Amino acid sequence: MKKTYLVIAAGLGLAQSVLLNTAVQAQDTARVLNNVVVTATRSPRKLADIGRVVEVITAEQINHAQGKTLPELLNTVPGITFSGAENAPGISSSLYLRGSSTGNTLILIDGFPVNNSSGIDGSYDLNAIPMDIIDHIEILKGSGSTLYGSDAVAGVINIITKHPKQNGLKANVQLSGGTYDTFTESAGLNGKVNNTGIAINVSNTDSKGFAAATDTTGKGNFKKDGFHQRAASVNINQQLSQRFILNGNLQTTYNTGNLPAGAFTDDENYTYQNTFLFAGLGGKLLLDKGALNINISQNDVWNKFNDAGSAYPSFESNLGKITNAEAVFNYALCKYVDITSGADFKHYNTNQYSTYDTINSIHAHNSILSGYTSLFLKEGIFHMELVGRYNYDDKYGSNFTYTINPSILLADQFKVFGTISSAYKAPTLYQQFSPYGNIGLHPETTTSYEAGFDWELIKNTLSFNTAFYKYNTKHVIYFEEESASPYGIYENGDLQKDKGFESELKYNSHKLTASAYAAYVTGIQTDANGVETDNLYRRPKNTYCASVYYEFITNLSAGLNYKYTGSREDENFGTSPTTLVDLKHYNLVDAHVQYGLNKNINLFADLKNIFDAKYTDWYGYNTRGFNFMAGIKYLIN
C-alpha cells in the first residue's frame, strides 16, 4: 500500500511538473541558455556565457504560485531546503542552500544586500517579503563572495521586485482566503507616465493559525499561534536623459503574532512584533560600451518579543541597522575582454535589550570596505571569469577572496564548466559583542570546488544539467560552553566539509512544461580537537522533486508538484546533555488551478499537502496538514 501511494504520488508530481511549467513555455529562463541574467556577474549576460549554476523563478511561475509564501516557493528549487516552511504561519524558517548553514546565503532585494545585523547568524527572515511584490527571482549557486562580499558562501538569492513596465498606469486588486482562517488582500499600481515609472504594491494578511508547538498531552488545548502582516513596496524610476536613469525603492513589512514557549511547550502570553524596512537609491549612467551604477541602501530590522504574563516574565527588543554604499563599473575593453570593477562600504550596528542581556550600539558596530575586479574573457567557444576581492574589516583586519571560472559552450547547446573559488562570512555583531561575544573572532573562510554541464538536448525545449560541488570551511564559529558565568563564549576552530550534487531535467512546449530534479548533500563538522560536533541538522541528504503544468484551454491551466524530503536529524534540547532525534522522510503533493474569466478577472486555487501527510520539520513543532488558498485577481485597465 505504501509503495503504491509513492508511485501514485510520484506520477502526480511528474504530471504537475509538466502542468506547473507549461504556461511558462520558452519564457522559463531557468534553463534556456540564450536568456539573460544579472546576478551571476553583476552585469547582463546570457546563461550560455556564464560558467555558473543559475536558477530563475520567472514572473510566470510566480503567477502560477499565487497562494504560496516565498519560503514555500523557494522550497521547490533544486539544492534548497527551507526547513520550517510548513510550520505555523509566521514562525521563522531556516534556509539551507546546498547544506550550508543559515546565514551563509546572501539575500538581495533588487541587487541590494539585506541582512539582520541583530541576529546571531545575520540571516534575513524571508517571511518578511510577501509574494505579491515579487516580479522574479535569480538564484546563484556556489560561492559569490568575490562579487558580493560576506555571507555569499553557498550562493546568492536576488529577489527582484515589481518595477514599472507598460506605458500608462494599470491597477490590480487581489483577494484570497483559505485554511486556518487565513485571508490576504493586496492592491497594486504599475506603469509609466512620460519619463517616470512607478510600481506600488500594498498587502495585508491575517491568519488565526494553529498551535505551533506539538501537544504531547493529547488534550489539544494549546493556543492557536496567529499571524498578521502589513506590507508595502514602492519602486520609482526617472529617465533624466538618454544616458542617465535614477531609481529608488522602498519596502516595509510589519509582522505580529504569537509564539510557543518552545518545543512541546505552549505559552498563552508570548507575542512578537517584527518590523523590516529597506530603502535604496541608485543611478545608472549608460556608456558607449558599458555602464556605471551607484547605489546606496539602508536595511533596518526591529524585533520585539514579550512574555510578560508568564511565570517567568521576559522582554526583548533588538534593533539592527546596515548602511550600504557601492559603485559598480562594467565596460567592454575589447572584443574579447569585459571588465567589472566595484567598491562597496558596509556599516553594521545593533542595539539590543532584554531581561537577561544588553548590547549597546555605542560598542556593537563594525564596517567593511571592499574593492573587487572581474575580468570576463571570451574567445569562440571558450569563456573564463577571473575575479579578485580585497576586504578590510575594522575589527578583524583584511582578507582576500578569488574566483576562477572557465567554461566551454559546444554547438551553442552543451556547456561544460568548472569553478574554484573562495568565500568568507564575517563574525556577526552578536558573536562579537553579546555577553558570550569574542572580539577576537576571525571570519569563516571557505574554499569551494564545482564542476558540471548544462545540455539543451532540444533547443529551448528539453534540457538536462548536473553539477557536483565540494565546500571546505575553516575557522567555523561555534559556541563553547563554560562552567562559570556567562557559561559560554563564541570561538573559531571548527572545520566543516560538505559535498553533493544536483541534477535537473526540464521540458518546455507550447502547452506543457515539466521538470524533475534530484539533489544530494552530505557533510560533517569537527571541532578544534577533531571531534565530530555537527552533521547538517534538519537537512536531508536526499531530496527529489517533480512538477508539471498544463494549459488545457486558453484560460484554464493547472499543475501538480511532488517533493520527497529524506530523513534528517534534529537536536532535542529538552535533555541534558542535548541528544539527537531522527526525523522521518516525507512526501508532499501540491496542486494549483488557475482560470481566467476574461482578460481582467483571474481565479486561482492553491492546494497544499493534498494527501494530508503527517511529518515533522522541527522536533517538537507542528506542520501543516492539507491546506489551501483560493482567490480572485482583478486587473483595472
Q: How confident is the model at residue 5 (pLDDT cuts 50, 70, 90)?
A: very low
Cis peptide before 406 (omega within 30 of 0): no
Contact call for residues 177 and 143 (beta carbons, < 8 A): no
What one-character-per-residue DSSP string does 147-186 give? Answer: HH-TT-SSEEEEEEE----SBEEEEEEEEEEEGGGEEEEE
The DSSP H or E segment spanning 508 is: strand 488-508
| Beta-sheet strands, E only, within 33-104 | 36-37, 45-46, 53-57, 80-83, 94-97
Place of cell 569585459: 338
Place of cell 518579543: 305
Instruction: List pLDDT tens digits, range 25-52.
Output: 333 434 467 788 899 899 888 888 899 9
Q: Output the pLDDT for position 297.
A: 95
* Residue 174 CB neighbours (<10 A): 20
Least confident of 207-221, 222-236, 361-375: 207-221
What one-character-per-residue DSSP string does 135-150 give? Answer: EEEEEEES--HHHH-T
Task: With a cut of 70, say whether residue 259 has pLDDT above it.
Answer: yes
Task: With a cut of 60, say whether residue 425 has pLDDT above it.
Answer: yes
Candidates 2.30.29.30, 3.20.20.70, 3.40.50.720, 2.40.170.20; CATH matching 27-456+468-520: 2.40.170.20
Per-residue pLDDT, averaged over 192-196, amounts to 92
Of 306, 159, 127, the closest CA to residue 228 belongs to: 127
Q: What is the SS3 assignment for 222?
A: coil
DSSP state of 265: B
Q: How confident is the model at residue 514 (pLDDT cuts 50, 70, 90)?
A: very high
Q: Output the pLDDT for position 493.
A: 85
Q: Output the pLDDT for position 329.
A: 97
Task: With a cut of 60, say whether residue 323 has pLDDT above it.
Answer: yes
Q: What is the SS3 assignment for 350?
A: strand
Angle ∠(510,516,517) on CA atoms, nearest 5: 145
Q: Beta strand 155-161 with 105-109: parallel, antiparallel or unpaired?
A: parallel
- pLDDT cut 70: percent of the chain above it: 95
CA distance 131 to 188: 12
Q: What is the SS3 assignment for 36?
A: strand
What one-character-per-residue DSSP string does 302-348 give? Answer: EEEEE-TTSSS--EEEEEEEEEEEEEEEEEE-SSSEEEEEEEEEEEE
Place of cell 535533555: 575
Instruction: List pLDDT tens digits, range 376-407.
Output: 999 999 999 999 999 999 999 999 999 999 99
Mean pLDDT taken over the chain: 90
Instruction: List pLDDT tens digits, range 596-612.
Output: 999 899 999 999 999 99
CA distance 6 to 100: 29
For 110: left if phi > 0, alpha if psi spans -120 to 50, otherwise beta; the answer is left
Residues paired with 387 in a beta bridge: 374, 403
Of 398, 452, 407, 448, the closest CA to residue 426 belongs to: 398
Task: With a cut of 50, say whether residue 233 has pLDDT above it.
Answer: yes
* Residue 457 CB neighbours (<10 A): 12
Percentage helix, strand, coil for the chain under 3-state DSSP, each rounded to 5: 10, 60, 35
Place of cell 498544463: 550
Q: Quote the cell numbers at residue 619.
A: 522536533
Torsion over CA: 148, 151, 154, 155 (sign)? negative
Task: With a cut of 80, say whether residue 318 has pLDDT above it.
Answer: yes
Instruction: List pLDDT tens digits, range 453-480.
Output: 999 999 889 999 999 999 999 999 988 8
Q: Output the pLDDT for position 172.
A: 94
Q: Output the pLDDT for position 32.
A: 63
Q: How confident is the model at residue 149 (pLDDT cuts 50, 70, 90)?
A: very high
CA distance 202 to 440: 44
Of 62, 144, 86, the closest CA to residue 374 belongs to: 144
Contact call for residues 482 and 488 (beta carbons, < 8 A): yes
Place of cell 505580529: 256
Q: Output the pLDDT for position 398.
A: 96
Q: What is the SS3 assignment for 3?
A: helix
Q: Which residues contact 570 (CB under 8 A, 6 or more apart)?
A: 537, 538, 580, 581, 583, 616, 618, 619
| Beta-sheet strands, E only, within 267-307 | 271-287, 290-306
